[in-house]
Chains A and B, each alone.
Chain A
Amino acid sequence: MTRAGLAALLSHWRRSPLQLFTLVAGLALATALWSGVQAINAEARASYDAAAATLGEAQFAQITRADGGPIARDTYVALRRAGWLVSPVIEGRLEGVRLIGVEPLTAPGGIGPVALDAGDDLPGFLGEGILFGRAEVLAALSGTGLRGIEAPDVAPGIALTDIGVAERLLGPGISRLIVAPAQPRDRPDLAQVAPGLVLQPPQAGSDIGRLTDSFHLNLTAFGLLSFAVGIFIVHGAIGLAVEQRRPMVRTLRALGMPLARIVTLMAAELLALALVAGALGVALGYGIAAALLPDVAATLRGLYGAEVAGTLQLRPAWWLSGLGIALAGTALAGGRALAQVARMPLLASARPRAWAMQSRRGLVMQAALAGVLLGLAGLVAALGSGLVAGFVLLGALLLGGALLLPVVLSALLATAEARARRPVAGWFWADTRQQLPGLSLALMALLLAMAANVGVSTMVGSFRLTFVGFLDQVLASELYLTAEDDAQAEALTDWLEPRVDAILPIRNVERDVAGLPAEVFGNRPHATYRDNWRFLQSAPGAWEAVDAGAGVVINEQLSRRAGLAVGDAVVLEGAAFEVLGVYGDYGNPIGQVILTEAAFERLFPGVEALRFGLRLPPDAVPALEAALRDDFGLGEGRMIDQAGIKAISMQVFERTFAVTAALNVLTLAVAGFAMLMSLLTLAAMRLPQLAPVWALGLTRADLGRAELLRALLLAALTAVLALPLGLALAWVLLAVVNVEAFGWRLPMALFPGDYARLGLFACLAALIAALWPARRLARTPPAELLKVFTNER
């Protein structure tokens, strides 16, 4: 009995292979997009974790100099001799690689062993020197002549070596001290042994992790939307399959098969399909992730300096979660249909219930639900705070918007119908409206895909504009130098004085400001700042007042987190300063305060500038760089020219766009596919409605053209409606999610050209999707149409 029942149920798929394809392809696509994005995120996170473990930032407290400068070796020895169990690290950049020199004898377990396990050669490590890193890193550093040992455990972009080797390559000065977890019982205070050093507790999440959260959040949102779009397709396919098998279910029950067993069989069938589709999706997702990862890695490296491996690893947690989401999606999409079967009375009519039809009451319910969701979104936007609220807001907005779509479209079509004069036009509008319920799932998918595209491209575009403006602001000087020590800094300034238009020393210390960690900068008064810096809010003549020592300007992060606005007071080393301006700062997660050089020297005596910005004609930069290299031996990394940084940044954004564009195309493709499947399904069911129109004189070609026109019209309407939803989505991403994740709000820019192109694509997708069903309709043999009148269907 069970076998016969199963055979009967499965025979449905044999008769409707297209439905089976829709179901499996929809689910596989949904799973692929979701798990592809997850794979990218997982790879990036793994890279951050490896970096944090390699650097020891996550497990161990660190000691650094309050002003961020290098720590003298004697200070390290003084700390050890006072009983502080600390281990020195010298790190810096060499040939684009982050070179980390550790002291293996004092390094707490978990840092050095990465290197030493791989080598077992302590004399080599301490003596002539060994580099540990991934193959590409070792290749980049081959010019050092050091022996390289490949170590996949070392985070990407990092090379580990002995501190002595690092000192030879990077110059003297300890970058930071790692504090061992177990310390002797009695130690003097840090300030007593080494004034000027600060102890930082272990960082649960790395800086890079926090910095890139927003980026990954956006990727995740993208993945989730794609998945939602896919689930709409699956929902439609399953609903149709269940609906069409109602007579079969009735027959099986009439033959004595228990309802529970039928439902169980159908559930098992769905489970099997979900597993197959999930596996396909995971494989597809892996392909998507592998194709996109190099671009994502380049983006993250350029934007945040975060190193992410360019190659993908297959992680069990990841593909299991991919299968899991496929199962969850199927349960979500198929649950209601199965419940309907379970509730179906034994003697119910076997006639298909016109699956696609929904009553007017259903539409009203949907409108009400949409209203509730949108209301919730408004409420959360007004009252909520935090990342979770941001996501609730996103979810409510998108779902509400999607549910509202058929309601709005129906109203629009009804209006058009009422205004139609000619009978064919009247029929067209009425027929379109009548088809709406059957197409609404596909249209919702299109709406979501469009809205996601509009939202994300608005966000990325706004980010790009803002970031480029921000670079112009912070990189106003043509050339930036970093001196090795105070003596070199002095020699450099003397040498540069007659050669450049202006030397702008950059001095900073790290201090808690208003209870939050922040950097305090001392700026030399100069037109550079007045000309290039833009404030989000400011008092009149802000820079002039700062130059006069009357106050400070702070960044947006500090302003938001500490609740400081223009006119409020900031206390530095016991002295109060008025906040004169708030500037946008899109390059770092912590607060900043800028005051004038004289005031800075008064508050923080003895903090000398090692970094300098130089103003000079841009075309004189290469000659000056060459002279500095020759006369001072300033190497790569100690000189940064503004044009170079900007070029790299632009490259980064082009890469980001490549990723975004790829995801955009994929989601649109999924939505187009949903449309195609819905139209094909409807086409078969609509013959009885079309036959009378044909009999009244419309040719089959006319009918086909009407089909095409209808798809185009609906897609265009959906695209128009997607625009406000997408812009709302962009607003949430920029003004809510970003503020929570980053502490700053991106000004939103609009890109009408992009939206127009997107709308065109959507219509194109709909047109392509409608082409085949329309063609089929136009070629329907007249006999088929005639049968409608002869057969008692």
Chain B
Amino acid sequence: MNVRALTLILLAGPAGAQGFAGLGTQAEGFAIPAPGYAFDFPADHGAHPAYRIEWWYLTANLTGPDGTPYGLQWTLFRSALAPEDGSGWDTPQLWMGHAAVTTPEAHFVTERLARGGIGQAGVVADPFAAWIDDWQLAGPDFDQLEMTASGPDFAYDMALSAEGPLVFHGDAGYSVKSAEGQASYYYSQPFYAVDGVLSLPQGDIPVTGRAWLDREWSSQPLSGDQTGWDWFSLTLEGAKLMGFRLRQADGSAYTYATWIDPDGAATAYSDGAFIAEPLARDGARDIPTTWRVTLPDRGVDVTVQALNPEAWMAVSIPYWEGPVTVSGSHDGTGYLEMTGYEGTSP
């Protein structure tokens, strides 16, 4: 679900920009998500410029020929200053890309920014293509995609093939984010099989694995007292679990989870059913990279541990995002994202 993009994108900008006026206020003129929305594909895979924020967010757990685990991230954010397309330089549509590769020893990350309206970045639904600069996530349809990205010290080229259906979170894709009712449209494709090549400083590495793509758009920022979040996407012996925990300024938390059966059938769990507790802090930034995650209704009681505690995303608005391993009641792999830890004690 990546709630952090709500903030991240609004705060995005070149070095020195300290964010926009109006963060946390109502979405003047922007469309607002409402329950009972009928998704229309492939059109809804494309951009929704009437909404303030939107993203195409892909994470993958990969394995090299020698069994070494790797993590990969490809993300495109859209942020609108006004609810219109615009054209040329005068467009209000801004785009931001993040790409990363995590190995047990290293973490490579890079960022791109662009404005829409000139063709430098954008998303079209059919045939599907999402791009910023030379990075691309594109294919004949949403089930068959090629994915590329590159930075000063890494690059990758992956082929993705969906082996299951789209999964809708919350109430048929209407995902509530706080007790006050802030919400987004949110669906995922968690069933991609991946193979491709990672180009790292030590050389090219052929890899295979699984990828999870999140699609979300909204116009309302988080509620004002939410300080950060912890987001888990876990693959547990066939089934999958997505859960997040929004931390409140008063120390409490708002949680949500979706349990996904191997055939794609989804069950939503509202606030309180999903529990995530930090077990140990680690890394240069003293961030909780070991967690106890439980969903008693499904008999889940697992320890989630970062593959590389230093998976820090040193981008415009920094956060932690990296692959994890799961052990306990279930074994598996997944991705963990944590925001709001920079410079503060949670």
Task: Judge whether B16 and A106 touch: CB under 8 Å.
Answer: no
Given A105-B114, A167-B88: A81 touches B14 (CB 8 Å cut-off): no
> Digit string of B76-94 for contact with A (CB within 8 Å is 1, else 0)?
0000011000001110101
Cβ contacts under 8 Å, B90 to chain A:
164, 168
Task: Give the contacting residue for A186; candidates B13, B120, B150; CB below 8 A.
Answer: B150
Residue of B nearest to A118 (CB): B16
Bound CA span A127–B114, Å = 15
Pair A109/B15 contact, Cβ less than 8 Å:
yes
- Asked if residues B119 and A74 are in contact (CB atoms below 8 Å), the reply is yes
Which listed segment binds A: B17-25, B58-66, B163-171? B17-25
State which of A177-185, A353-361, A398-406, A598-606 sits at the interface with chain B.
Answer: A177-185
Closest to B155 in A: A185
In the complex, whether A581 has a CB less than 8 A from a CB of chain B is no
- B11 nearest CB neighbor, chain A only: A122
Q: Is the CB of A106 within 8 A of B89?
A: no
Considering only CB atoms, which chain A residue lies closest to B153 in the complex? A185
B154 within 8 A of A: yes
Task: Name the B residues within 8 Å of A629 (CB-CB).
Answer: none
Q: Is A561 an interface residue (CB 8 A)?
A: no
Q: Is B277 an interface residue (CB 8 A)?
A: no
Q: Point out the residue from A81, A126, A184, A187 that lies within 8 Å of B115, measured CB to CB.
A: A126
Interface string of A155-189 (1 = CB under 8 A from B): 00000001110011000000000000011111100
A182 → B minimal CB distance (Å): 4
A82 CB–B CB distance under 8 Å? yes
> Contact at A105–B14, with CB atoms within 8 Å?
yes
Q: Could you say which residues of chain A place their CB within 8 Å of the CB of B134?
A: 80-83, 184, 187
- A54–B18 Cα distance when bound, in Å, is 21
The contact of B151 among A76, A81, A121, A184, by CB within 8 Å, is A184
A83 and B152 contacting across the interface, CB-CB below 8 Å: no
Instruction: Write the nearest CB–CB distance from A185 to chain B, whole angstroms.
Output: 5
Cβ-based interface call for A622 (8 A): no
Residues of A within 8 A of B152 (CB): 182-185
Q: In the complex, which residues 123-167 of chain A have their Cβ closer than 8 Å to any Cβ of chain B?
A: 123, 126-127, 162-164, 167
Q: How far is the CA of A452 from the CA of B105 in the complex (A)?
A: 69
- Which A residues are in CB contact (< 8 Å) with B144? none
Separation in Å of the A549 CB from the closest CB of chain B?
43
Within 8 A of A (CB), among B1-50: 13-21
Q: Is A213 an interface residue (CB 8 A)?
A: no
Residues 103-120 of A, flagged 1 when their CB comes within 8 A of B and 0 if not, give 111110100110011001
User: Considering only CB atoms, which chain A residue lies closest to B150 in the complex?
Assistant: A184
Is B21 within 8 A of A163, CB to CB? Answer: no
Q: Determine if B21 and A121 form an interchain contact, defined as CB atoms under 8 angstroms apart.
A: yes
Cβ contact within 8 Å between B14 and A107: yes
- Which residues of A lie under 8 Å from residue B154 when comparing CB positions? 185
Chain B residues contacting A80 (CB-CB under 8 Å) are 114, 120, 133-134
A116 contacts which chain B residues (CB < 8 A)? Answer: 13-14, 16-17
* In the bound complex, CA of A183 to CA of B110 (Å): 11
Tell me how far the C-beta of B13 lies from the nearest C-beta in chain A, rounded to whole angstroms: 5
Choice from A82, A122, A127, A184 contacting B82 with Cβ under 8 Å: A127
Chain A residues whose C-beta falls within 8 Å of the C-beta of B19 in the assembled complex: 120
Bound Cα distance from A104 to B19, whole angstroms: 14
Q: Please pick, from B16, B17, B18, B120, the residue contacting A81 in the complex, using a CB distance under 8 A.
A: B120
CB neighbours (8 Å) of A638 from chain B are none
Q: Is B131 interfacial (CB-CB < 8 Å)?
A: yes
Chain B CB within 8 A of A77 CB: yes
Contact (Cβ within 8 A) A104 B118: no
How far is B133's CA from A187's CA once the two chains are assembled, in angstroms? 12
| Residues of A with C-beta under 8 A to B18 | 120
**B119 touching A105 by the CB < 8 A rule?**
no
**B267 in contact (CB, < 8 A):** no
Q: A732 interface residue, CB < 8 Å from B?
A: no
Return chain B residues, CB-CB under 8 Å to A182: 152
- Residue of chain A at shortest CB distance from B199: A185
In the complex, B113 has a CB within 8 A of chain A: yes
Check B21–A123 contact: CB distance below 8 A.
yes
Docked Cα-Cα span, A123 to B80, in Å, equals 10
| CB neighbours of A113 from chain B (8 A) | 14-16
Across the interface, which residues of B come within 8 angstroms of A103, CB to CB? 89, 115
CA distance A145 to B272 in the complex (A): 55
Residues of the A chain whose Cβ atoms lie less than 8 Å from the Cβ of B151: 184-185
Chain B residues whose C-beta falls within 8 Å of the C-beta of A107 in the assembled complex: 14
B81 touches A127 (CB 8 A): yes
Chain A CB count within 10 A is highest, among B81, B120, B150, for B120
A77 in contact with B118 (CB, 8 Å): yes
Contact of A105 (CB < 8 Å), options: B88, B92, B115? B115
A residues near B150, Cβ cutoff 8 Å: 83, 184-186
Given the interface pairs A126-B81, A127-B81, the reply to whether A167 lies near B120 with Cβ below 8 Å is no
A87 smallest CB distance to B (angstroms): 10
B contact residues around A77 at 8 Å (CB): 118-120
The minimal Cβ–Cβ distance linking A617 to chain B, given in whole angstroms, is 43
B48 to chain A, nearest CB (A): 19
Residue B14 contacts which of A74, A76, A112, A187 (CB distance < 8 angstroms)? Answer: A112
Which chain A residues lie closer than 8 Å to B21 at the CB level?
121, 123
Q: Which of B15, B16, B92, B110 contacts A126 (CB 8 A)?
A: B92
Q: How far is the CA of A182 from the CA of B152 in the complex (A)?
A: 6
Q: Which 6 A-B pairs have the closest CB atoms?
A: A164-B89, A83-B134, A113-B16, A105-B113, A184-B150, A182-B152
- Give 23 CB contacts A-B under 8 Å: A76-B120, A77-B118, A80-B114, A80-B133, A80-B134, A81-B119, A81-B120, A81-B133, A82-B134, A83-B150, A103-B115, A104-B14, A105-B13, A106-B113, A112-B14, A113-B15, A116-B13, A116-B17, A122-B13, A122-B17, A123-B81, A126-B94, A184-B110
Q: Which A residues are closer than 8 A to B by beta carbons?
A: 73-74, 76-77, 80-83, 85, 103-107, 109, 112-113, 116-117, 120-123, 126-127, 162-164, 167-168, 182-187
Q: Contacts A76-B118, A116-B16, A123-B92 given; 15 further ones with Cβ under 8 A?
A: A76-B120, A77-B119, A104-B17, A105-B14, A117-B16, A120-B19, A122-B20, A126-B94, A127-B92, A163-B89, A167-B89, A184-B150, A184-B152, A185-B153, A186-B150
